[in-house]
């Protein structure tokens, strides 16, 4: 019985890790693409997870993750942004630039 419990726990941990890596890759790719379209630079090629929650999406329970990143414009100042990943899809990117917040909704809930 202990072996079955351990196998189940490792299986869930492996699934979470795999899901986390794919969410991170999709979020990084979307962030890079949007910052390049705006003529800005996605800095350090890195994301930092700020939060993770359970929320329903289209009738199913899904993880909603928020990642923070940094970008730079032409004057080489560093700014931050937030990427929201919900249920396997990047849903929103926010850019905090020159005391303004620009929100880009990528998909509808």
Separation in Å, CA 104 to CA 6, 22, 92: 42, 21, 6
Structural domain count, the chain: 1
pLDDT in tens, 29-38: 999 999 999 9
The parent domain of residue 97 ranges over: 2-105
Q: Is 2 left (phi over 0), alpha (psi -120 to 50) or beta?
A: alpha
Q: Is 59 left (phi over 0), alpha (psi -120 to 50) or beta?
A: left
Q: What is the pLDDT of residue 83?
A: 97
Q: What is the pLDDT of residue 41?
A: 92
| Total length of the chain | 109
pLDDT in tens, 48-93: 999 999 988 778 888 999 999 999 988 878 999 999 999 889 999 9
Q: Taking a C-beta distance cutoff of 8 angstroms, is the pair 103, 84 a contact?
A: no
Q: Taking a C-beta distance cutoff of 8 angstroms, is the pair 52, 63 a contact?
A: yes
């Amino acid at each position: 019985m202990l072996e079955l419990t351990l196998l189940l726990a490792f299986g869930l941990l492996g699934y979470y890790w795999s899901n986390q890596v794919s969410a991170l890759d999709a979020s990084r790719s979307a962030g890079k693409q949007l910052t390049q379209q705006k003529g800005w630079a996605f800095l350090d090629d890195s994301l930092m997870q700020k939060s993770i929650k359970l929320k329903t999406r289209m009738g199913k329970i899904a993880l909603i993750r928020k990642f923070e990143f940094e970008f730079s414009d032409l004057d080489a100042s560093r700014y931050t942004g937030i990427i929201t990943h919900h249920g396997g899809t990047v849903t929103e990117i926010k850019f905090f630039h020159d005391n303004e917040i620009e929100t880009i909704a990528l998909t509808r809930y």
